[in-house]
């Protein structure tokens, strides 16, 4: 082709236009946007978790006990937590021989345990924001467990000391001669005896002795109730008002510690206005939960109405409970010993100084001289126990403890055991069969409350918490690394997008060039 003719030609040159790949560009823009946003999120989260630990945020949030959170529901609804109540009654096997003086010691035989399930409910919850406390009502009730009991156990007949008669006699020991004569007269009129033969069910729930019925007719003021069944008495007033601390104001150390019980800072029955000892329940816990972030120096203070006092539990060792590691706190053997300062010892006894190892519960028992001890008197050798035989102490089976998750203060396994006894002083002015019980401690029964394990869903939640705690030191750096990688991807896609946006020179085919 002549170059001159080509220059003089007016015909426009049509060059092939390079088509843009729109779908490819849209995809690139999406990748750039997403990776950029994710990188910013990762960096922000990494910086946040570098400053704040996730597990500490969880524990701080639990302090507030927000009602829609799982840990609040765990505490309020305990229907899934199995707490068994086992009661061991002491049956007298030589009552007649002992009364006749043929045997020097009263022989006691432990009856196989009667097993119930205890249900605990928390109702009427009120938050007091002005002082960061919470008030609620506790309700406890027992349900018999047939599958865990010997068939027909409640119908078994036992022989036990007539606690209503002996208790009144002990309480009236310091009264005048005429008062005692009146009691002897009522006792004679009733036709009752110092030992009662009854079924286990009646002993637990329906103890109505002839002496009580007669006394209630003659002097009703002396007999507050005509039914002194031991479990009926313990659970007759099953609603209690509690006020506890919560929130960041008190922190982990005072979380859920009691301020008051039945609107008072003291054990029910102790009245400061009447000059009673200050038997404090403050800083104690009912056992549903304990303070958070526990360590080996922490002291748990456990309150149980049936014990009529708060007792301290001290760290013993770390133990495994399933997949979790808990701290075991135990009740020391000297918990019921007399204090050096007798004035501060609220449980030394109303009717004479009690021995070491005994704690007075008469304030919770209509002023009847009931005392609590360790089951079977383990770790103690009471001088007033020489008139009885049949005790078989075994600390491993009879001590009290709480195995607690150290972070949340949730009990993984806990067991409260105590023995109830009637402490008889030197008796004078009564009939011979009553005086036979002078200066004795009479075992009635011992009881065990055992929460053996937690529901699986709570255990799994605690496991997840500890997994987070294990990885949280590395979490910020993982997020920083993710930030760098995502940002690298974003820059690479942006660079590719920029290059792709430029128009590259077209390549002509031989046919296209011949048509020019």
- pTM, to two decimals: 0.86
Asked if pLDDT for residue 504 goes beyond 80, the answer is: no
CA distance 409 to 386: 42
Looking at 419, 454, 489, the residue that finishes a domain is 454
Among the ranges given (44-53, 326-335, 505-514), the one the predictor scored with the smallest mean pLDDT:
505-514
Q: Give long-range contacts, CB 8 A cutoff, 24+ apart: 349-352.
A: 349/423, 351/170, 351/171, 351/173, 351/174, 351/423, 351/425, 352/425
* Tokens of residue 128, six digits: 């007091």
DSSP conformational letter for 67: T
Which are the contacts of 316, defined by CB distance < 8 A and separation ≥ 6? 328, 329, 330, 401
Please, what is the Cα angle at 40 between 35 and 44, to 5 degrees?
145
Structurally, how many domains does the chain consist of? Answer: 2
Give the β-pairing of 388-389 and 258-261. Answer: unpaired
Q: What is the helix, strand, coil percentage profile of the chain, to 5?
A: 35, 25, 40
Give ∠ CA 297-326-376 in degrees, rounded to 5: 85
Pair 495, 448 in one domain: no
Q: Residues 386, 390, 394, 400: is their CA dihedral positive or negative? A: negative
Residue 26 has pLDDT above 90, yes or no: no
In this prediction, residue 202 has a pLDDT band, given cuts at 50, 70 and 90, of: very high
Question: Roughly what angle, to the nearest 10 degrees, separates helices 163-171 and 210-218?
Answer: 50
Residues 350 and 488 occupy one common structural domain: no
Flag whether pLDDT at 14 surpasses 70.
Answer: no
Encode burial over 108-128: b for 16+ CB neighbours within 10 A, e otherwise. Answer: bebbebbbbebebbbeeeebe
Domain of residue 218 covers: 81-454
Instruction: Please tell me the distance from the alpha carbon of residue 410 to that of residue 396, in angstroms, as a whole number.
Output: 23
pLDDT of residue 512: 53
Query: Is pLDDT at 499 greater than 70 in this prediction?
Result: no
Q: Is 117 a member of any domain?
A: yes
- The region of weakest confidence among 141-150, 286-295, 412-421, 494-503 is 494-503
Q: Are 115 and 85 in contact (CB under 8 A)?
A: yes
Rounded Cα–Cα distance for residues 213 and 226 (Å): 6
- At 61, list the tokens: 């949030």
Cα(206)–Cα(41) distance, rounded to whole angstroms? 68
Q: Considering the domain boundaries, does residue 409 fall inside one?
A: yes
Phi-psi region of 195 (alpha: psi -120 to 50; beta: other; left: phi over 0): beta
Does residue 177 sit in the same domain as residue 231? yes
Displacement of CA 358 from its chain's centroid (Å):
25
**Contact criterion met (CB below 8 Å) for 214 and 189:** yes
Helix 54-63 to helix 456-471 angle (10° resolution) is: 140
Q: Do residues 35 and 43 make contact, with C-beta atoms less than 8 angstroms apart?
A: no
* Three-class secondary structure of residue 3 per DSSP: helix
What pLDDT, on the 0 to 100 scale, is given for residue 6?
45
Query: In this predicted structure, what is the pLDDT of residue 12?
Result: 54
Q: Per-residue confidence at 241, pLDDT binned at 50, 70, 90?
A: very high
The proportion of the chain whose per-residue pLDDT surpasses 70, expressed as a percent, equals 92
Residue-averaged pLDDT of the chain: 89
383 with 242, same domain? yes
Q: Is residue 460 part of a domain?
A: no
Distance CA 213, CA 1 (A): 139
pLDDT in tens, 336-375: 999 988 888 999 988 888 999 999 999 988 888 999 999 9
Per-residue pLDDT band for 102 (boundaries 50, 70, 90) equals: very high
Look at residue 504 and tell me if it is in a domain: no
Please tell me whether residues 226 and 294 are part of one structural domain. yes
Q: Taking 70 as the threshold, does the pLDDT of residue 509 lie above it?
A: no
Looking at the structure, do residues 324 and 378 belong to the same domain, yes or no? yes
Say whether pLDDT at 225 is over 90: no
- Position 161 in a domain: yes
Per the domain annotation, does 19 fall within a domain?
Answer: no
Residues 106 and 231 in one domain: yes
Q: Using the predicted structure, report yes or no on whether residue 101 has a pLDDT greater than 50.
A: yes
In this structure, the strands spanning 106-110 and 359-360 are: unpaired
Q: Which of 11-20, 25-34, 52-61 has the lowest average pLDDT?
A: 11-20
Tens digits of residue pLDDT in 381-409:
898 889 999 999 999 999 999 999 999 99
Extract the tokens encoding 100: 């006749």
Phi, psi of 239 (to 5 degrees): -115, 125
What pLDDT sits at residue 503? 45
Among residues 90, 88, 86, 140, the alpha carbon closest in space to that of 115 is found at 86
Distance CA 432, CA 450 (A): 42
Structure tokens at 183: 């009691």
Q: Give percent of the chain with pLDDT exceeding 90.
A: 68
What per-residue string of b and e applies to 178-189 under the rule 16 or more CB within 10 Å gives b? eebebbeebbee
Q: Which residue has better confidence, 257 or 12? A: 257
Largest Cα separation within the chain, whole Å, is 153
Tell me the C-alpha distance between 71 and 458, whole Å. 9
Segment 447-457 mean pLDDT: 95
Give a yes or no: residue 356 inside a domain: yes
Average pLDDT over residues 100-120: 95
Are 131 and 264 in the same domain?
Answer: yes
CA atoms within 13 A on the CB side of 21: 10
Nearest Cα to Cα of residue 352 among 371, 366, 380: 371
Length reported for the chain? 516
DSSP three-state, residue 136: strand
490 and 449 co-located in one domain: no
* Same-domain status, 37 and 157: no
Q: Are residues 48 and 130 in the same domain?
A: no
User: 285: burial class by Cβ within 10 Å (0-12, 13-18, 19+)?
Assistant: buried
User: What pLDDT is recorded for position 45?
Assistant: 86
Q: Is 185 helix (H, G, I), strand (E, B) or coil?
A: helix
* Pair 416, 375 in one domain: yes
More confident residue, 224 or 399: 399
414 is a domain residue: yes
């Amino acid at each position: 082709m002549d170059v001159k003719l080509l220059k003089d030609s007016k015909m426009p040159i049509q060059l092939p236009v390079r088509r843009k790949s729109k779908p490819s560009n849209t995809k690139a823009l999406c990748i750039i946007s997403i990776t950029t946003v994710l990188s910013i999120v990762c960096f922000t989260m990494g910086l946040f978790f570098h400053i704040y630990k996730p597990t500490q945020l969880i524990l701080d949030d639990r302090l507030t006990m927000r009602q829609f959170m799982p840990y609040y529901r765990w505490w309020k609804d305990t229907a899934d937590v199995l707490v068994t109540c086992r009661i061991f009654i002491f049956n007298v096997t030589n009552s007649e021989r002992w009364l006749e003086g043929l045997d020097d010691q009263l022989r006691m035989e432990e009856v196989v345990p009667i097993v119930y399930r205890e249900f605990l409910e928390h109702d009427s919850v009120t938050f007091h924001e002005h002082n960061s406390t919470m008030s609620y009502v506790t309700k406890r009730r027992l349900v018999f467990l047939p599958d865990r009991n010997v068939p027909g156990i409640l119908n078994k007949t036992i022989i036990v000391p007539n606690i209503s008669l002996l208790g009144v006699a002990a309480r009236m020991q310091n009264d005048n001669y005429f008062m005692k004569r009146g009691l002897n007269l009522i006792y004679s009129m009733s036709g009752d005896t110092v030992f009662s033969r009854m079924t286990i069910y009646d002993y637990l729930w329906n103890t109505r002795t002839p002496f009580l019925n007669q006394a209630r007719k003659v002097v009703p003021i002396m007999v507050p109730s005509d039914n002194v069944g031991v479990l009926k008495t313990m659970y007759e007033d099953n609603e209690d008002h509690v006020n506890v601390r919560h929130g960041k104001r008190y922190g982990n150390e005072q979380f859920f510690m009691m301020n008051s019980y039945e609107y008072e800072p003291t054990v029910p029955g102790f009245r400061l206005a009447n000059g009673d000892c200050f038997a404090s329940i403050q800083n104690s816990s009912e056992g549903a939960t304990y303070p958070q972030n526990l360590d080996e120096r922490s002291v748990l203070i456990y309150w149980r109405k049936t014990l009529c006092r708060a007792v301290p539990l001290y760290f013993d060792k770390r133990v495994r409970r399933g997949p979790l590691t808990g701290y075991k706190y135990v009740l020391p053997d000297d918990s019921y010993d007399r204090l050096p300062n007798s004035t501060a010892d609220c449980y030394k006894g109303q009717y004479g100084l009690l021995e070491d190892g005994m704690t007075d519960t008469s304030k919770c028992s209509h002023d009847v001289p009931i005392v609590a001890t360790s089951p079977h008197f383990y770790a103690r050798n009471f001088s007033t126990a020489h008139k009885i035989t049949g005790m078989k102490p075994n600390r491993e089976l009879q001590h009290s403890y709480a195995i607690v998750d150290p972070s949340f203060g949730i009990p993984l396994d806990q067991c409260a055991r105590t023995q109830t006894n009637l402490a008889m002083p030197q008796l004078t002015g009564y009939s011979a069969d009553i005086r036979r019980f002078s200066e004795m401690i009479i075992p009635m029964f011992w009881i065990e409350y055992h929460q053996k394990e937690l529901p699986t869903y709570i255990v799994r939640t605690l496991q997840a918490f500890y997994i987070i705690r294990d990885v949280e030191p590395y979490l910020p750096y993982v997020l920083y690394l993710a930030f760098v990688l995502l940002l690298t991807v974003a820059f690479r896609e942006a660079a590719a997008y920029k290059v792709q946006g430029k128009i590259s020179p077209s390549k002509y085919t031989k046919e296209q060039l011949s048509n020019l």
